[in-house]
Amino acid sequence: MAHTKSGGSTKLGRDSAGKRLGIKINHNQAVGAGEIIIRQRGTKYVPSTNVKRADDDTLYAAVAGIVKFSDSKKTRFDRTRRYIKKVSVVQSAVPAKKA
């Protein structure tokens, strides 16, 4: 005979691990070529000058420089206007980061 009652089972109680999304390098910070600036799902932020978009919508620097964020108006197909957030990298002659 069991001395304690057996624990119940549940079909719930599972959750996936966090994906660590978000901004990794902020405005006016130095970045090296190939470094990740933003991890995102979808295109909340769009790439601009010297920034590329990966298959999973991650934005990364194409060149070393200083990260800049800006807002821009975009007219949609139904003539409504929305702001889009652009991310760019301004090339600098100074070394981007200390190792």
pTM over 0.85, yes/no: no
Looking at residue 16, its pLDDT comes to 92
Q: What is the pLDDT along the chain (99 residues), one digit of tens a residue?
A: 667 777 778 888 889 999 999 999 999 999 999 999 999 999 999 999 999 999 999 999 999 999 999 999 999 999 999 999 999 999 986 655 555
What does the alpha-carbon distance between residue 35 and residue 87 come to, in Å, rounded to a whole number? 13
pLDDT value at position 96? 52
CATH of domain 22-91: 2.40.50.100
pLDDT of residue 6: 77
> If we measure between CA atoms, which residue out of 70, 44, 49 comes closest to residue 61?
49
Strands (DSSP E) contained in 1-99 are 22-23, 30-31, 36-39, 45-47, 51-53, 59-61, 65-75, 81-91
Residues ≥6 apart with Cβ < 8 Å to 22: 38, 39, 40
Show me where the domains of the chain are located. 22-91
